[in-house]
Amino acid sequence: MHPNLDKVNCYESTCEAAAILLGGGAQVCINESYRSVFSTQSGICFVNEDEGIASCDIIIAVGGDGTILKCSKRAARHGKPVLGINCGRLGFMASLEHTQLGKLEKLLNGDFSKSRRMMLEAKFSVQGKEKSYTALNDIIIAKSDDCKIADYKVSKKGRVISSLRADGVIFSTATGATAYSMSAGGPIIEPEMECIEFSHVCAHSLFARTMILSADSNISVSVATRDQSHVWVNIDGNNVARLTDGDTVRVTRSKYYIDIIDIAGGSFFSSVHNKLMMPLKGTEEEEAP
């Protein structure tokens, strides 16, 4: 299990989930760095994180979508499915809310499905060293708060498909379509679809629109900055490198996939309905005469 104890209810949810799984005959392991936190919980074993991921059958992330994203890279490299228990706010990738832990019995009985998700890879050079990162949600190239707007030239197989001035550009998977890309005006995409969504952040253009590109697209992004400005490459919410004028980022499909476990059934569409649509519906109903 991988808990994020910064989330409200996470400690209690982790303990309850562990008790249910242990009661059903499963072995529950947690990173040894949490030994002092869960020392009073009998039956839990504490392991080195790398060894635990390599030897487990399922990774359970207790927290929010960020917790699942943090687990996703290692899970994908080891071919391990991930079950998310949401103690955060939206929790689009989580199968269960922290109030639904009784449904973990389905996990023990094998009564669940898996949603296979495509991932992306970003490659670029920093000071002559080639860098490569894997993303489950999105790859964002954007200016920092103290820098000027930048110019981006986006090409596919050497042919320019977009040339614009903007605060940034977003390349997301279908999984990441409900994250930053949606806030930037992109569409919601069924998460099992294999494609690359290309969106702009505050483009200085009347005609900038989101594009849906084929999953096998080989995309090149050239950055032009001014007056010592720079842009950041952000992978799933984390700034990983700073780029300057003339630098290029290559975005392609990753060789890795990740399986997200769905216990509740139709978790994605339930999340869209309940967490995006219902607040609006509730407001309309309250304002109706």
Sign of the Cα pseudo-torsion (275, 182, 231, 247, in order) = positive
Tracing tokens 């200016």 back to the chain, one arrives at 143
Kindly indicate the confidence band of residue 228, based on its pLDDT and cuts at 50, 70 and 90: confident
190 touches 184 (CB < 8 A): no
Nearest partner of 124 among 247, 256, 253, 245, judged by Cα: 247
pLDDT, residue 169, reads 97
Give the chain's mean pLDDT. 91
Rounded-to-integer distance, Cα 225 and Cα 275, Å: 38
pTM for this predicted structure: 0.91
Of 4-8, 84-88, 251-255, 263-267, the least confident:
263-267
Region 137-160: what's the mean pLDDT? 92
Q: Report, as an integer, the average pLDDT of 1-6.
A: 94
Tell me the percentage of the chain whose pLDDT exceeds 90.
Answer: 80
Nearest-angstrom CA–CA distance, 60 and 134: 20
Catalytic site positions: 65
How far is Cα 57 from Cα 252, in angstroms, rounded to an integer? 29
3-class SS letters over 211-258: EEEECCCCEEEEEECCCCCCEEEEECCEEEEEECCCCEEEEEEEEEEE
Domain ranges of the chain: 2-112+263-287, 119-256
- Domain 2-112+263-287 is classified in which CATH homologous superfamily? Probable inorganic polyphosphate/atp-NAD kinase; domain 1 (3.40.50.10330)
One-letter identity of residue 39: S
The better pLDDT of the pair 13, 226 is held by 13
**Which tokens in the block code for residue 228?**
């010592």
Mean pLDDT of 251-264: 95
Identify the band that residue 128 occupies on the pLDDT scale cut at 50, 70 and 90. confident
- The CATH number for 119-256, chosen from 1.10.10.10, 3.40.50.1360, 1.20.1260.120, 2.60.200.30, is 2.60.200.30
CA angle 14, 18, 21 (to 5 degrees): 140
Report the distance separating Cα 282 and Cα 288, nearest Å: 10
Q: Is the pLDDT of residue 282 over 50?
A: no
Whole-angstrom Cα distance, residue 128 to residue 112? 46
| 2-112+263-287 and 119-256 share one fold | no
Mean pLDDT for the stretch of residues 76-96:
90
Contact criterion met (CB below 8 Å) for 210 and 196: no
